[in-house]
Amino acid sequence: MAESSTPVAVLWDMDGTLVDTEPSWIEVESALVAEHGGTWTTEDAIAMIGNSLLDSGRYLREHGGVDLPPEQIVEILLDGVVEHITQSVPWRPGARELLAALRAQGTPCALVTMSYERFVAPILAALPHGSFDVVVTGDAVSHGKPHPEPYLHAARLLGIDPDHCVAIEDSTTGTRSAEAAGCLVLVVENHVKVEPGARRVFRDSLEGLTPADLTSLAAQR
């Protein structure tokens, strides 16, 4: 990590990190499985957190008894969760404030999410214009998290080495993706436990976190 008052760039996960959409996903998943006569457990819902949408569609077909093509399952899930989000965006504590502070200092920021563009759009619309220099969605990459491609692609679009980036994540799947890309990962656990790692630093919340704090966290590595 280069020495400066802020990281060179910050790469943000979305679901569970910027916004707490996981309860909406779980509600829509459960309703779809019930409609098809299947069983959906808390363990099933947790197993899907951070995965690519197509992987989630395959999981629902295999474990939830939803006898539809994975691509169709994804579209049904997106319809339901987009409806939730357009009614109210469930921001994570401190996320918007930290993002605004980073942008005020000119720190490049990217959104790196496995959600598709049509789900991301209403969330971006609720933020100030230009909050992110780059947006990488799940339908824009060949390999989803935990593969490093999403974070490598975001860093490439920013023109910044991943080693000079801090990624903010909440799940093991996303953390593994950012870590494999070479980023330092700030982990703020939400619905799932993330184990410690050499390129991982932990905070209980983004609330009260400042851009200068990110550099201090990086120094703990």
| SS3 label, residue 210 | coil
Query: Which of the residues are catalytic?
Result: 13
Which top CATH class is 22-87? mainly alpha
Start-end of CATH 3.40.50.1000 domains in the chain: 9-20+91-219
Give Cα 157 distance to the centre of its chain. Answer: 18
Structure tokens at 58: 């395959």
Q: What is the pLDDT of residue 6?
A: 56
Mean pLDDT by 10 residues, the chain (221 residues): 62 95 90 94 86 90 95 93 88 97 95 92 94 95 95 97 95 96 96 92 96 79 57
Q: Phi/psi at 208 (nearest 5 deg)?
A: 85, -5
CATH fold of 9-20+91-219: Rossmann fold (3.40.50)
What is the model's pTM?
A: 0.83
Determine if residue 182 is left, alpha or beta; phi over 0 gives left, psi from -120 to 50 gives alpha, anything else beta: left
Start-end of CATH 1.10.150 domains in the chain: 22-87
Measured distance CA(161)–CA(149) in Å, rounded: 14
Q: Phi/psi at 112 (nearest 5 deg)?
A: -125, 100
Determine if residue 130 is left, alpha or beta; phi over 0 gives left, psi from -120 to 50 gives alpha, anything else beta: left
Q: What is the pLDDT of residue 221?
A: 57
Give Cα 187 distance to the centre of its chain. Answer: 11
| SS3 label, residue 152 | helix
Could you count the other beta carbons within 10 Å of the beta carbon of residue 25? Answer: 23
Instruction: Provide CB contacts within 8 A for 13, sequence distance 6+.
Output: 112, 113, 167, 168, 169, 170, 171, 174
Q: What is the pLDDT of residue 218?
A: 65
Q: What is the pLDDT of residue 4?
A: 46
Which DSSP symbol is given to 123? H
Among 82, 59, 81, 83, residue whose Cα is nearest residue 70: 59
Cis status, amide bond into 146, omega within 30 of 0: yes
